[in-house]
């Protein structure tokens, strides 16, 4: 497996979760992978497909996703194709002929393709070894991007007898269970890694001067690529006109634009011809542009799944990037209006609950990344990220004494309990079937309001001194640091204002002039091959080139992101550019 990874992708080892999913597939087991955005989900089914041989059928909800993936595979020397409604009949026939001749290793299709008898008959004649469901949350009726046509495909592909691999970056417990049931995936074959992204700084800003803030930010990051999400088409057009008036280079994307305009605007953004994209949520799912340095949400999204999916498009190359959420009360009313138009009452109620969680995110004083992690995986051990708005805001209340009391009470109860039970006991409230009055900590904080105790417990949870599993709290081993006076714990005892901004230094300790020249080489290569620049080498790999300045293939081969195919076909141009830079005429 490592040989395939190194040869085609230039990486020496797998990321957490990737190997397990690949092993399940090669053993003929269906599986579900929940990996963070930028966590290498596509590599899981691509390496599996290469190892299995035959054809891997990838079902993808967006045409743009198909094209980007096929471009990336082609750039790595792997035969891949797609079939979609935008192709001409002759192009589709050529792909079908190639499939029947066994020329392709990967075929990408949209769910709607299965409505065609001709296509289903074609599949029956192919050697399908693996079926991959990309953006698998679209299968679930509880997913934020639910596609009924995608759900209907499941029953049509199960009879092929090939293992399935479903991958997504965002899946709540409800979504995960729904996908498992549909694809018959036991718990043992679910691989879920942390959504934690060490390079992302999450920020919340309730500013009333959104336009001014966004313009200032972009001008301060004029060399960087970024996405600005807004809620409506009208706002996309209005913000775009404003940017034009201020001379800010940008492009726009929403479902109301003609298909060819959308495709051209997306291409301009992906190919680094235009640094800023203003868009509705119609843009972005599956966009594999790795060098997006910031994502700004101009309006409040409807749920945390949408927010994380969209914000997570920043920094996929691993470099420091920023995710900024602007919001106002008017945003909440707009989302309530959208929800009110939902026909199914059960789904409408679920959406209301999710919107409430989204609003809570904007008001929490806890770590913002921790809040996201806790939403998707409540059992994960939490620690402050140290980068978000709340972590950078200096806490003003020493809660060490309260922390000792709460931890002592929890330990004396000798079992995991819910937040409400712990609160009642430490406030001196008894229960019908449990008498905790004999505990020395019973009623120890009776003078506190329940909401304040809940806030203290949350601080313990988000700082890693308490863990939560299936709604029950237990003390983490680090709790002894508080109990034995080794640390002091501060918290935001009162509501706080969010005014701090983070300066992101995206490229450090390297020759920036060389980096820009290498980007020019990449762009020239990309234009000659008609593929996006980042599919040749990511910004991260170019950063390493600019830092280490390799001038031989041997030196190039040691750099992350350089595989055997790219070493042969692309690296000579970059070596030549580095040598020219080192010895100018």
Q: Where in the chain is the domain with CATH 1.10.150.80?
A: 512-582
CATH architecture of 394-491: Orthogonal Bundle (1.10)
φ/ψ of residue 66, rounded to 5: -60, -50
Confidence at residue 509, expressed as pLDDT on a 0 to 100 scale: 58
Q: Which residues contact 163 (CB under 8 A, 6 or more apart)?
A: 24, 25, 28, 29, 30, 31, 130, 131
Tokens 């934020």 -> residue: 144
**pLDDT the model gives residue 263:** 86
For helices 41-52 and 63-75, give the axis angle rounded to 10 degrees: 60
The boundaries of every CATH 3.40.50.300 domain in the chain are 2-192, 200-376
* Homologous superfamily assigned to 512-582: HRDC domain (1.10.150.80)
- pTM: predicted TM-score of the whole model, two decimal places: 0.77
Neighbours of 383 (CB within 10 A): 16
pLDDT of residue 505: 40
- Strand pairing class (31-34; 190-192): parallel
Every domain of the chain with CATH number 1.10.10.10 lies at: 394-491
pLDDT at site 504: 40
Cα 329 from chain centroid (whole Å): 26
Q: What is the pLDDT of residue 500?
A: 40
The class that CATH gives domain 2-192 is: alpha beta
The topology (CATH level 3) of 200-376 is: Rossmann fold (3.40.50)
Q: What does each of the 585 residues of the chain score in pLDDT, given as a tens digit? A: 888 888 888 888 898 899 999 999 999 999 999 998 767 889 999 999 999 999 999 998 877 678 878 988 988 899 999 998 888 889 999 999 999 999 999 999 988 888 889 999 999 999 999 999 998 988 988 877 788 888 888 888 888 889 999 999 888 888 999 999 999 999 999 999 888 899 999 999 988 789 999 999 999 999 899 999 999 999 999 999 999 999 999 999 998 999 889 989 998 999 899 999 999 988 876 577 889 999 999 999 999 999 998 999 999 888 999 999 998 888 888 888 888 887 677 778 888 889 999 999 999 999 999 999 999 888 899 999 999 999 998 888 899 999 999 999 999 998 899 998 999 999 998 776 678 888 999 999 999 888 889 989 999 999 999 999 888 999 999 999 999 988 999 987 543 333 444 444 444 456 788 988 999 999 999 999 888 888 899 888 998 999 889 999 888 988 888 888 899 999 999 999 999 988 865
What's the confidence (pLDDT) of residue 285?
Answer: 67
Rounded Cα distance, 204 and 185, in Å? 37
Distance CA 178, CA 110 (A): 21
């Amino acid at each position: 497996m490592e040989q395939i990874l190194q040869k085609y992708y230039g990486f020496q080892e797998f990321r957490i979760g990737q190997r397990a999913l690949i092993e399940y597939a090669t053993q003929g087991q269906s599986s579900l992978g929940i990996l963070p955005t930028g966590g290498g989900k596509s590599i899981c089914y691509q390496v599996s497909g290469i190892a299995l041989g035959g054809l891997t059928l990838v079902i993808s909800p967006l045409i743009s996703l198909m094209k980007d993936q096929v471009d990336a595979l082609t750039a790595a020397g792997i035969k891949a194709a797609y079939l979609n409604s935008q192709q001409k009949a002759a192009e589709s026939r050529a792909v079908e002929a190639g499939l029947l001749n066994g020329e392709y290793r990967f075929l990408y299709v949209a769910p709607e393709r299965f409505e065609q008898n001709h296509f289903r008959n074609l599949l029956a004649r192919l050697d399908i070894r693996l079926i991959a469901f990309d953006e698998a949350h679209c299968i679930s009726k509880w997913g934020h991007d639910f596609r009924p046509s995608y759900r209907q495909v499941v029953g049509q592909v199960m009879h092929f007898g090939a293992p399935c691999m479903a991958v997504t970056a965002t899946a709540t417990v409800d979504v995960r269970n729904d996908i498992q049931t549909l694809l018959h995936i036991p718990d043992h074959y679910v691989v879920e890694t942390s959504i934690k992204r060490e390079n992302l700084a999450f920020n919340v800003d309730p500013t009333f001067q959104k336009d001014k803030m966004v313009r200032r930010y972009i001008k301060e990051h004029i060399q960087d690529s970024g996405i600005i999400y807004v809620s409506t088409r009208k706002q996309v057009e209005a913000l775009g006109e404003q940017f034009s008036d201020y001379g800010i280079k940008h492009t726009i994307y929403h479902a109301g634009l003609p298909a060819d305009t959308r495709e051209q605007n997306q291409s301009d953004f992906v190919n680094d011809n235009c640094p800023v994209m203003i868009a509705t949520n119609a843009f972005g799912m599956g966009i594999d542009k790795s060098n997006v340095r910031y994502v700004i949400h101009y309006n409040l999204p409807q749920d945390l799944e949408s927010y994380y999916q969209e914000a997570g498009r920043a920094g996929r190359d691993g470099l420091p990037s920023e995710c900024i959420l602007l919001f106002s009360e008017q945003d909440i009313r707009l989302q309530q209006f959208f929800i009110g138009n939902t026909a199914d009452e059960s789904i409408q109620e679920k959406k209301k609950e999710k919107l409430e969680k989204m609003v809570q995110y904007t008001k929490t004083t806890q770590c913002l990344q921790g809040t996201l992690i806790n939403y998707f995986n409540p059992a994960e051990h939490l620690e402050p990220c140290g980068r978000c708005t709340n972590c950078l805001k200096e806490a003003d209340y020493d809660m060490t004494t309260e922390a000792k009391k709460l931890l002592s009470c929890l330990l004396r109860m000798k079992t995991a309990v819910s937040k409400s039970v712990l609160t009642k006991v430490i406030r001196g409230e008894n229960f019908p079937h449990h008498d905790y009055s004999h505990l020395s900590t019973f009623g120890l904080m009776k003078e506190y309001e329940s909401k304040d105790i809940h806030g203290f417990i949350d601080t313990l949870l988000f700082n890693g001194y308490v863990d939560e599993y299936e709604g029950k709290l237990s003390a983490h081993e680090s709790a002894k640091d508080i109990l034995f006076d080794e640390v002091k714990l501060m918290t935001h005892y009162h509501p706080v204002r969010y005014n701090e901004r983070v300066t992101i230094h995206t490229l450090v300790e390297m020759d920036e002039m060389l980096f820009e020249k290498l980007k020019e080489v990449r762009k020239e290569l990309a234009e000659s091959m008609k593929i996006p620049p980042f599919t040749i080498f990511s910004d991260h790999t170019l950063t390493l080139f600019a830092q280490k300045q390799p001038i031989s293939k041997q030196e190039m081969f040691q750099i992350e992101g350089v595989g055997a195919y790219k070493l042969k076909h692309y690296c000579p141009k970059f070596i030549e550019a580095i040598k020219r830079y080192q010895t100018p005429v």
